[in-house]
Structure 1
């Protein structure tokens, strides 16, 4: 490994909800307007914020997660994502020092130390002035190994408010205040999991423009100077992936639309580099299942699109017949709901594919939220028995009825899964789990596709022939 010079910063906050995501989105758009190529990253297991960051930067946002990834693998992901960029912008999650234990393991601070990246702290200034100097001083003292390089004030009421807070922080801590953002009066596209996915929001460009305007009081040139002062970083030289060709001739249908959007870029990339052709399917609009060898249904919000999904009965009928015929199907979280019999949300019930004899209900409070550990305890086409999978879950849905036929092959060690004890529902070659796994941290994930296709025809074997090419392109991986 040789040290590499790369401008980089970590955007952090004192807590979740302090405004760092919206600040990061506005900052990325400002940097793009300056003609810079920005590599976006999101700390932790996150799809929605990462999707917005991808859309803002116009290139894939990659997740950096010290819980899911070993250090060397994480640095490879960082190197891959930052390739060709002028600056890397990493958005943290929750509070800067929040981790999974007393020591703050897997925190944004831990990631900043690993990347040797300066930290910009976004402070919510609502109903507070001089006290924020004590907050910043506490951040300085709590972990001297973290380079707290600057502060941005958020939700500032007026000029006098900004002046008092700025003077107090700089006087008592010496940390420079790099600007202020006023209270925003633009509609935030939010619901129960935070921001809604960018695919569902019709006012993306107006939102970006409003955020850029809100950052007019931020000294971006000083922030760039901070990023440029990051020391050279040792990064692994070997590639993140190697082309195996093991899935050559395989067409994997990937459901991606307003209902299903939760995919890590690396999970799609590794399938393509293994030789698979990815065929993207819109579950709301496409009437027939295309010619595919297997299906991949990611997470998302099928509940908000349930009526449109239910109305597209011909596609659901094709999927059910394909599953009964033995087509390999891998589904995560929201994808399982689509495979179930019924989906209930806000007092209404919608028919789904009926592949699995399970009724699901989306409730008002989360059932599973956070990192998960599940052990493989029964034979299945995807994972070997005895394997412990590291992943994460975030779902408001629960099964209300499970009929005869499927079995469960995962035991929950940490998390909730289906009921706090079980996860990994299996029916023929259909596998559904609430646990999202990342291909970088789980090599068995790619091997699972090979295992599931063993004994099945690898070539396209189900559905109508495609009238036009809809395989993997750079645009698909971009956002």
Structure 2
């Protein structure tokens, strides 16, 4: 078992400071040098995690203290470190930004939980001596946070860099480990939460390679490696690496709609389904003519709006899914999956028909309609959660409900104690064995999710066998 876990937290003074560029390029460069890198993303984000996963060539796991709690954070980190040489943990927002004025659940708090050294990337746009003041403030704000280095970003030229280096050298006892200049254009396009999902980037591997080249040229990656190797770990117990059981041929089959329209899934959620004996089958709502024979279906979030024409045109798949749900197929859908199960999606005054299980139509707005952590109280019957259960999750969407006509057998099962939900402080619309919500859940913090999905899949599998039919 591994007794040390070389690691780095890449943090910034704010969102958009360059954390993903540094993390992505560093992971890619180290991988090119033959190191095995374990990537992690602080917070609930899917898109950055997808890019880090692609660069590392292995899953990127989310470390979110709000969703899972600190004890599960430690065990997830050590278990998923596995055979890696170094872990790179990308923070979110500013280092000390959390849910409140105390910085609860911030990147700084995560770094203390994992006893990880921190490297700050600092946007130096239109600033010189003030950069030193900002870094000094970061160092003194919480001395329990182990800030071990800084990388300058958006540097205007050699003179700009020289002044900032001198200022930091005079006032701060941390090394400057690189200075990334202002670069013309960008090979990493942005949309919604930040980067375009890597699945939609036209030249994803080239973009990652170019980012690695930038980091090699302007950043001391050997210095960063030394900081990572110096990390202590007295509160990190060497956990047994995740070992998933071999799929049982008798286990229920859970379909996962996973294509360019539905991309947002935590790998931990898949692992928890596999641990419970399920078999997973990837399905495309864009290209397959009908829903395969499955015992349950999981539809994650994503961008159905950018695939609205293809989703609408695949009439046979939508019909087969609607028929399966009416027959009693257990379906769990989140955010984009909720929109897909609705009546229609309206974009630029054009209406695109969706599955039509829920008589709800959605429109896409130019500004976010909800963004942040959610807290949910299950207050009505539904297929997956016991009434009275409390859930923690998050929501981020630009869509909103524009018309809603309730039908018999349909109701909202969640009351929002934090967050927006679907409408009127409610989320989790339920019909037969289907449940759809804007709230995303993480299986480590919500074990009831995997329990409920597998339990319902097993029951549906038994029903099909008893009746001698396919869904």
Indicate if the aligned counterparts of 1:375 and 1:387 stay in contact, CA closer than 8 A.
yes
Indicate if the aligned counterparts of 2:371 and 2:397 stay in contact, CA closer than 8 A.
yes
The residue that corresponds to 2:101 in the other structure is 102
Is 1:437 the counterpart of 2:441 in the alignment? yes
Separation in 2 of the partners of 1:96 and 1:278?
37
Indicate if the aligned counterparts of 2:278 and 2:454 stay in contact, CA closer than 8 A.
no
Q: 1:33 to 1:295 in 2, by over 3 A?
A: same
- Report the 3-state secondary structure (helix = DSSP H, G, I; strand = E; otherwise coil) of the residue aligned with 1:418: coil
Separation in 2 of the partners of 1:209 and 1:3?
30
Q: 1:19 to 1:453 in 2, by over 3 A?
A: same
Indicate if the aligned counterparts of 1:61 and 1:81 stay in contact, CA closer than 8 A.
no
Alignment of 1:37-436 (within 5 A): 37-185=36-184, 186-215=186-215, 216-236=217-237, 248-405=250-407, 406-436=410-440
Q: 1:247 to 1:115 in 2, by over 3 A?
A: farther
Separation in 2 of the partners of 1:416 and 1:61?
28
Single out whichever of 213-222 and 89-98 deviates more from structure 2. Answer: 213-222
CA RMSD of aligned residues (A): 2.3
Single out whichever of 227-236 and 61-70 deviates more from structure 2. Answer: 227-236
Q: Write out per-residue CA displacement over residues 132-179 of structure 1, whole angstroms, 9 at most, x where no aligned residue.
A: 000000001100000110000111111111111111112111211001
The unaligned stretches of length 5 or more in structure 1 are 466-479
Indicate if the aligned counterparts of 1:72 and 1:236 stay in contact, CA closer than 8 A.
no
Q: 1:426 to 1:66 in 2, by over 3 A?
A: same
- Report the 3-state secondary structure (helix = DSSP H, G, I; strand = E; otherwise coil) of the residue aligned with 1:6: coil
Q: Write out per-residue CA displacement over residues 418-467 of structure 1, whole angstroms, 9 at most, x where no aligned residue.
A: 125100000111100111111111111112114434653348789x99xx
The residue that corresponds to 1:477 in the other structure is none
Indicate if the aligned counterparts of 1:100 and 1:107 stay in contact, CA closer than 8 A.
yes
> When the two structures are aligned, how many residues end up with a matched partner?
465
- Report the 3-state secondary structure (helix = DSSP H, G, I; strand = E; otherwise coil) of the residue aligned with 2:460: coil
Single out whichever of 162-171 and 59-68 deviates more from structure 2. Answer: 162-171
Indicate if the aligned counterparts of 1:5 and 1:233 stay in contact, CA closer than 8 A.
no
Single out whichever of 375-384 and 67-76 deviates more from structure 2. Answer: 67-76
Separation in 2 of the partners of 1:190 and 1:3?
38
The unaligned stretches of length 5 or more in structure 2 are none
Single out whichever of 270-279 and 405-414 deviates more from structure 2. Answer: 270-279
Indicate if the aligned counterparts of 2:253 and 2:457 stay in contact, CA closer than 8 A.
no
TM-score by length of 2: 0.94
- Report the 3-state secondary structure (helix = DSSP H, G, I; strand = E; otherwise coil) of the residue aligned with 1:235: coil
Separation in 2 of the partners of 1:267 and 1:280?
14
Indicate if the aligned counterparts of 2:273 and 2:454 stay in contact, CA closer than 8 A.
no
